[in-house]
Structure 1
């Protein structure tokens, strides 16, 4: 690389620099042309000799060329002098050009990086709005997407039925069986083992059971525990190190909770509480806004209410989770409501 750079530089200098003639006589056009030719030959010989590939034959040819006349000798000495003077400036110039190229490369990478960052931000925005379940707890042991349901047989024989948009972590060891409900809703059919308690943790709430069927629902801030069969005890630590809040549930009872407190156990209709296990949503005498909020858990394209009065209207529903759009169309036949489709979104108005 350096030999090529020096060859070009020496050729340029030899062409445009005025190197004194051996006899310092006034040059005519013929002698000037001859001197320029000798200088170019001298450059070629110097580069060839410095390339590291010159053998004895090449050296012999060079000595034969150099000894032809004093002009040949002088041309070579002049070029050799330039050779000694040029490496540092050329090296500095090469370093300058490399630094410039590196800066240009960094600028191009930065521009590409900004473009990639903008695209990534847009992608995350789209995913956050339309695919929030893909960004929630990606490393959970088990997950379901929006609209999905699945059942998992755990190592101890217990079964966890995961509802839509749910994530859990599972830890089963010699001392306990611990399930962390990170998000969503799950029904647990617990295998009896009196030596290893079965606990479901959701936020600060812990629910312990032995030989029991129960449902836990948690949205990251608040939730509910519903006992279907058996007996469970739910508890959470109180502030300032006080004794933990706790409650024991009987079948058919539900306990709500949040980060600050436990609710009071309330009776619920079990056929409605676990209807999702049968692919249905059953709700009686509840505001339409509550129905829509529940349905939106199963539908990636959200439904929005545009009328406050309509939102507060009490309804009874029985919805097939797989036929939500059909239910929306039928809704227009039973309520004074208009269904407006806008891409993946649906708006309801009076």
Structure 2
């Protein structure tokens, strides 16, 4: 849309649908949404966009004998379906438009974090930040941190994403990285922390790090170089051996996969892609993938994966790619 151009009912419907589906509406916004939905033109536009997303789960492909799972319906919003109202190509175009709107709306929804963060990266961006004490933080794609230093401790909150911390030694002040209700504590070391929703992973590259998750009611677990640990609402996971250098290869602009399920690989590529790559054939999600790919070109990685596994993709826009047999 041009600057100053009034959004159409379809534009608004796409944004409401995306925000409903991602669960970001509070009670007040839900009330405004329902008031907006009372207008017949708005409801018709909303049904059209919702139908477009449903159709994405039913795209027929050669060799597929069963339908694919439908996208989840919007919570507590009764909708009528009118399959004949809009052609499938039109619905695909609407779905692609919804992705564009989601990307645009994402910036506005991201504003609170932008105000809270002391440093952050955009999708596909990797950069290093030097802190006041000489420690450094390498931020991976779409990551954000907030810094809180005092005389007693150095505390960093990983708001989202992933980072590698190279900690300047200070015997008097521990270096704490807090995220997902847990903490990693060190005084002088190199370690990585990754946040995935309400879970986190701590990986140690040098020296030792103590990891605690107060909700689990356990004392801190100490990790040594080449070890990693996950924690979430289920508590602290088991300490496991990892190739820490491979796990943080993104610092060198690489992603390394060894027999990883395709579904996990695509989820990782999506972290570096400004749009969305979506598997629409569940039977291929478990295919093992091995390779070394550039973080700067996730679509090239996708092309290599397609060729290697004999898969195909359908591009509904530059932002929406459907992967299938």
Normalising by structure 1, we get a TM-score of 0.62
Q: Which has the higher contact order (CA 8 A, sep 6+)?
A: 2
1:143 aligns with 2:123: no
Match of 1:246 among 220, 243, 260: 220
Q: Say if 1:177 and 1:198, in contact at 8 Å, map to a contact too.
A: yes
User: Displacement of 1:223 after TM fit?
Assistant: 1.3
**Would the alpha carbon gap of residues 116 and 174 (structure 1) be closer, same or farther in structure 2, given more than 3 Å must change?**
farther
Q: Match for 2:264 among 290, 297, 300?
A: 290
User: Could you say which residue in structure 2 is the equivalent of 1:270?
Assistant: 244
- Preserved CA contact (<8 Å) 1:245 1:262: no
SS at match of 1:297: helix
Residue 167 of structure 1 and its aligned partner are, at CA, apart by 1.1
> Residues 291, 133 of structure 1: CA spacing in aligned structure 2 closer, same or farther, 3 A cutoff?
farther
2:292 aligned partner: 318
* Residue 183 (structure 1) aligned to one of 155, 160, 165: 160
Rounded to whole Å, the distance in 2 between the matches of 1:121 and 1:335 is 37
Aligned counterparts, 1:161-172, within 5 A? 161-172=138-149
> Aligned residues, how many?
234
Q: Compared with structure 1, are the counterparts of its residues 115 and 316 closer, same or farther at alpha carbon in structure 2 (3 Å cutoff)?
A: closer
Contact 1:175 1:195 in 2 (8 A): yes
Judging by fraction of residues, say which structure has more helix: 1
Change (3 A) 1:197 1:326: same
Distance 1:117 1:327, change over 3 A: closer
CA contact (8 A) 2:11 2:101 kept: no
Q: How far apart are residue 347 of structure 1 and its match?
A: 1.3
Unaligned runs of 5+ in 1: 1-113
Shift of 1:340: 1.7
The one-character-per-residue Cα deviations of 1:94-152 (angstroms, maximum 9, x if unpaired) are xxxxxxxxxxxxxxxxxxxx989997786675677225366331211111111111110
Q: Is the 8 A contact 1:186 1:217 kept in 2?
A: yes
The 8 Å contact of residues 182 and 220 in structure 1, kept in 2 or not, is answered as: no
1:230 aligns with 2:207: yes
Q: What RMSD over aligned residues (CA atoms) do the two structures have, in Å?
A: 2.4
- Name the residue aligned to 2:182: 205
Q: Counterpart of 2:103?
A: 130
Q: Give per-residue Cα distances to partners, 1:6-53, cap 9 Å, x unaligned.
A: xxxxxxxxxxxxxxxxxxxxxxxxxxxxxxxxxxxxxxxxxxxxxxxx
Question: 1:260 deviation in Å?
Answer: 3.3
Bigger shift: 131-140 or 229-238?
131-140
Counterpart in the other structure of 1:258 = 232
